[in-house]
Amino acid sequence: EPQVKAKFTQNNDVISFTNSCAQNGMLAGAHLISLDVVSGIDAEREFFGFGSEGKLLRIDRVRTADGMPIMVEENYFPYDTYRFLENAGHENTSLFATVFDHVHMKPSLKEPCTLDIEKAPTTLAANLDVACGEPLFLYVGRYYDDNGDAMYLGKQHIVGSRFTFRI
């Protein structure tokens, strides 16, 4: 198993992974797994303002620190507002920076995020270079823009042995 030189640490605030890496003296990386347009999520109707009749842009990426896989991020953006992300570069980029460049807004939280543990299924384990069934943190947050509108739903599967939460 690859060794990380120091455990990745992040405070409990809204900060981009890229900036968090820099604070840890590490270089952030991002590798696109998939990008597609999907129907809305009925369970998230209240957050997005629509259910399955709406469209979301789903972007899945592996995030790395100094080349070490730390997490797989699964992000859902309202398609009509964030369709520009379809054609944005997603290799070794910050989504926060890309969004800010286009809409000049930063994500914020109105409610606590949730943190659970899930066992890594085959594909996730391969993307993170861990054993199948390894426990992963599942961190879920609903992020809003400066106007209080839904910006994105973020789900992160995080390798616990490579990450420390400061909460």
Reported as a single tens digit per residue, the pLDDT across 114-123 is 999 999 999 9
Tokens of 137: 């943190």
What residues of the chain score a pLDDT lower than 50?
A: 1-3, 5, 8, 10-12
pLDDT of residue 12: 45
Q: Quote the pLDDT of residue 122.
A: 97
Query: What local confidence, expressed as pLDDT, does residue 81 receive?
Result: 96
Residue 24 is predicted with a pLDDT of 84
Model pTM?
0.89
CA 74 to each of CA 1, 10, 36, 94, 131: distance values in angstroms, whole numbers, following the listed order: 24, 18, 11, 14, 20
